[in-house]
Homo-oligomer: A and B are copies of this chain.
Amino acid sequence: MTTTLIQGGTVVTSAGRFAADVLTVDGRIGEIATSIARPADHIVDARGQYVIPGGVDPHAHVKITFGGVPSADDFTSATIAAAFGGTTTIIDFAFQEHGQSLSSTLDDWHAALAASPPVTDVGVHLMISDLTDPAWIDELRAAPATGVSSFKLFMAYRGSFMVGDPAMWDTMRVAAETGALVMVHAENGDAIDALIREAVAADTLTPPFHASTRPRSTEAEAVNRALMFAELTGARTFIVHVSCADAVAPIVGAKARGMEVWGETCPQYLLFDESIYEQPLDQALRGIFSPPARSVADQDALWTALAGVGLDVISTDHSAFNLALRHERYESGGGFTAVPNGGPGLEERLALMFDVGVRGGRISLEQWVDLCCTTPARLFGLGGRKGVVAVGADADLVVWDPERERTLGVETAKSKVDYSMHEGRVVTGAPSTVIVDGVPLIADGELLDQPKRGFLRRAASVEATASV
């Protein structure tokens, strides 16, 4: 029996906070009490600190390539980076190639996972690009029972990831049957493609045109369309990286009429606005993600939706393509159109949201835990196991020091990527101890061990019906 005792902290859950000691027993939370005075294998002093569930990031790309170039991260580096930031669960994506079966797609992913073992278990979503073979629909139907209970669809990136409405229908029908969750990247890829072609024709390829070729209305339209498909098929649906008020509105509308739909945003949409595209190239290139950074008014709307109604999860959309590569591609002649979309963020999410969100008065401490830990776990088949501080749950816990100040930057970051989106930003609040599976993994900035973990099998069906 292995035990860890966390003493003197303030436990924070999505529902409230209270002073309590927490005892973990063999990888599970065994006891929560006013005071626990008992020997334990590990004793952690949490006085003056918060005890929160380990972070859950349901939208992190590890195995991904862009134009033949793989991400700078592998599973080992990505999970170490996440854990250093307080995130103890990530879910990656297995990308189906056109013409590839889903079993082959998952085999490839498992092989990659085995090749660079993670320090925390890693889940996986199936990214669907081609359901023209009925056998693949059968494979899709079988996936949730194997622990892969969420499917990803891209409505944008015409010519690569984008699927048409027929595949969206088929995927959602299977999701409705199985209780799986459908994640949707909602941008109208045809309209954006047309605008980009016009930009290419006009040779207007500098960073500001990345934003102007992806107007808000293309995002709002796609959300609206996806929700129509969700309503007709009955699929539970999760709109990823919502960037603007126009896209929040149809989500609120769908929630108000009782649909099981949720919205996600990411720190980059809360921290950057469209002025980033006017800055010097080295900075502007950090803003090439999709949807693009929007207005300050949109940032306010996103915070309002996180604190109130419309958005339920903060994830990272982590994607670790080097800044050097971004420069090289940009200079290649394609301008913004050639730059890999996305950016790294696994390690910084919890600290940014604590600093800007909680300390900045935008969200409560409980909401921070809910948005970054509890709700993502619940929606992605990990309810009751991850994202909570409750008896019987997995003992993934973080002792969070609310006063620790740090400067974010590539120097100290654990990801292998060569830049930070938030280089130089000073934040207050950091994990002092990170406990995974009941054992301290990180303490005071040191990795104590490097366990080899593997695939995180998730429940086959979304647990959608907790109180929020």
Name A's B-contacting residues (CB within 8 A).
11, 13-20, 23, 25, 28, 30-34, 164-166, 169-170, 173, 188, 190-191, 193-195, 215, 217-218, 220-221, 224-225, 228-229, 231-232, 248-249, 252, 255-258, 304-305, 307-310, 363-364, 366-367, 369-371, 374, 378, 383-384, 388, 390-393, 465-468
Closest 5 CB pairs of A and B: A370-B467, A165-B190, A364-B465, A31-B33, A258-B304
Contact of A164 among B169, B190, B378 (CB under 8 A): B190
Measured in the bound complex, the distance between the Cα atoms of B466 and A254 in whole Å is 23
For residue A138, give the distance in angstroms from its CB to the closest CB of chain B: 15
Assess the B30–A228 pair: CB atoms within 8 A.
no
Measured in the bound complex, the distance between the Cα atoms of B229 and A195 in whole Å is 11
A33-B33, A391-B33 known; A228 and B308 CB under 8 Å? no
14 A-B pairs with CB atoms under 8 Å apart are A15-B466, A16-B383, A16-B384, A18-B384, A18-B390, A18-B392, A31-B31, A166-B194, A169-B190, A169-B191, A217-B232, A249-B256, A252-B252, A256-B308
Residues of B within 8 A of A383 (CB): 16
Measured in the bound complex, the distance between the Cα atoms of B220 and A370 in whole Å is 32
Assess the A258–B307 pair: CB atoms within 8 A.
yes
A164-B190, A224-B224 known; A466 and B16 CB under 8 Å? yes
Measured in the bound complex, the distance between the Cα atoms of B252 and A300 in whole Å is 18
Assess the B467–A310 pair: CB atoms within 8 A.
no
For residue A262, give the distance in angstroms from its CB to the closest CB of chain B: 11
Contact of A304 among B229, B257, B309, B370 (CB under 8 A): B257
For residue A420, give the distance in angstroms from its CB to the closest CB of chain B: 29
Residues of B within 8 A of A310 (CB): 256
Residues of B within 8 A of A388 (CB): 15-16
For residue A230, give the distance in angstroms from its CB to the closest CB of chain B: 10
For residue A206, give the distance in angstroms from its CB to the closest CB of chain B: 20
Residues of B within 8 A of A366 (CB): 465-467
Residues of B within 8 A of A378 (CB): 16
For residue A362, give the distance in angstroms from its CB to the closest CB of chain B: 10
Residues of B within 8 A of A33 (CB): 23, 30-33, 391
